[in-house]
């Protein structure tokens, strides 16, 4: 049987670049891989699966003959072009926020709800936000056994989640404060030392600092990132009344989001039982020996694919509740890898 044709839309972007690397290392389920980007990037030559491929300009005819189109572009671009791709016969797998909460668009994490990918009235499948994705493989495995009832989450989000300007800004700030060991000892001195914040994607300095804000302002003082954690967790896990509260914090880490998770379950849960379930989950790695200094950190797991879990504890004052620390590369499992895995679900369906 002929292998399906895949299009990667936004192939020259930060996540698109990671996507090409991921496609080059995963099982080869695709025939042609077509690379698509904005007209200004058309004509560039990129390498995928060891082959050089010329980037095509985004246009309706670019989707002719495409079976699956993966989108890694801004929300407004996906909102316009994913329906066009679907109308041309492709299944659109979208990494933006344009369709995540559309009731006619499934929001899929293959470890949690792979069956949802088959029900796509609009011909579109959405990929969750990178913060939500960082914990979903672990939460999905525990939910299947114990029945998740509530989540309280504090995220520690890498600057690459803000796009290519995020790491550039962090490195510039680090350079500005490096070498002066008096900086960070007086209120406001970091703010004075770093470049003008008017040029920053962040509302406060990141060097020698953390910023309790990610996303845009929503009602009640919540950020868009915090509401995504709530709404997307409910949809992915199929728990419409799941109690969720999140506080999203930006930290001076280039890539890999971390989350401190307080999870309450309907059934009695033990640390030993949870550790066994997580250890058996194929895309989860348990690093949990604090006496030996073993637990996940962003610097130790960046560039890898699994969800890493450690610091597994029974909450002292809350029954049937676990505390966990979770890390996941926000450009890989948090974006490109999950999109590729969804696309592979569709490929398997098309060739079955």
Query: In this structure, are residues 92 and 123 in contact, taking their beta carbons and an 8 Å threshold?
Result: yes
CB within 8 Å of 11: residues ≥ 6 apart = 17, 19, 20, 35, 36, 37, 41, 46, 55, 72
Q: What are phi and psi of 346, to 5 degrees?
A: -65, -40
Residue in 352, 290, 336 with CA at minimum distance from that of residue 133 = 336
Rounded to whole angstroms, the Cα distance separating 2 from 287 reads 42
Write out the two tokens for 3: 């292998």
Give every strand in the sheet of 56-57, ordered side by side: 56-57, 33-37, 6-9, 68-71, 91-94, 124-126
Write out the two tokens for 138: 């672990």
Query: In this structure, are residues 263 and 271 in contact, taking their beta carbons and an 8 Å threshold?
Result: no
* CA 73-349-26 angle, 5° bins: 60
Taking the CA of residue 145 as centre, how many other CA atoms within 13 Å lie in the half-sphere pointing to its CB? 16
Residue in 212, 217, 248 with CA at minimum distance from that of residue 230 = 248
Stretch (H or E) spanning 115: none
Residue in 174, 172, 138 with CA at minimum distance from that of residue 153 = 138
Rounded to whole angstroms, the Cα distance separating 235 from 230 reads 9
Show which residues are catalytic: 130, 257
Rounded to whole angstroms, the Cα distance separating 180 from 192 reads 13
Residue in 194, 211, 200 with CA at minimum distance from that of residue 156 = 211
Residue in 342, 341, 348 with CA at minimum distance from that of residue 305 = 341
């Amino acid at each position: 049987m002929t292998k399906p044709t895949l299009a990667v839309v936004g192939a020259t972007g930060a996540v698109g670049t990671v996507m090409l690397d991921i496609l080059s290392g995963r099982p080869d389920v695709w025939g042609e891989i077509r690379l698509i980007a904005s007209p200004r990037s058309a004509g560039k030559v990129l390498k995928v699966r060891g082959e050089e491929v010329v980037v095509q300009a985004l246009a309706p005819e670019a989707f002719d003959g495409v079976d699956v189109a993966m989108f890694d572009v801004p929300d407004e671009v996906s909102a316009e072009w994913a329906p066009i791709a679907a109308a041309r016969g492709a299944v659109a797998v979208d990494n933006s926020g344009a369709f995540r909460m559309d009731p006619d668009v499934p929001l899929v994490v293959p470890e949690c709800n792979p069956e949802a990918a088959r029900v796509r009235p609009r011909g579109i499948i959405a990929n969750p936000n990178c913060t939500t994705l960082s914990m979903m493989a672990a939460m999905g495995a525990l939910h299947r056994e114990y029945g998740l009832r509530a989540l309280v989450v504090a995220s520690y989000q890498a600057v690459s989640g803000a796009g290519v300007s995020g790491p550039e800004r962090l490195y510039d700030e680090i350079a500005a404060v490096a070498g002066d060991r008096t900086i960070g000892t007086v209120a406001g001195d970091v703010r004075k030392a770093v470049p003008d914040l008017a040029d920053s994607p962040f509302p406060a300095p990141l060097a020698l600092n953390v910023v309790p804000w990610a996303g845009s302002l929503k009602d009640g003082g919540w950020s868009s990132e915090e509401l995504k954690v709530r709404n997307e967790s409910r949809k992915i896990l199929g728990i419409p009344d799941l109690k969720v509260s999140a506080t999203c914090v930006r930290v001076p880490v280039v890539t890999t989001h971390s989350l401190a998770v307080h999870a309450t379950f309907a059934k009695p849960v033990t640390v030993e039982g949870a550790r066994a379930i997580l250890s058996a989950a194929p895309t989860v790695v348990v690093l949990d020996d604090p006496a030996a200094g073993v637990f996940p950190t962003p610097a130790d797991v960046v560039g890898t694919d699994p969800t890493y879990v450690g610091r597994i504890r029974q909450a002292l004052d809350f029954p049937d509740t676990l505390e966990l620390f979770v890390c996941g590369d926000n450009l890989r499992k948090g974006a490109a890898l999950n999109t590729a895995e969804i696309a592979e679900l569709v490929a398997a369906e098309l060739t079955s």
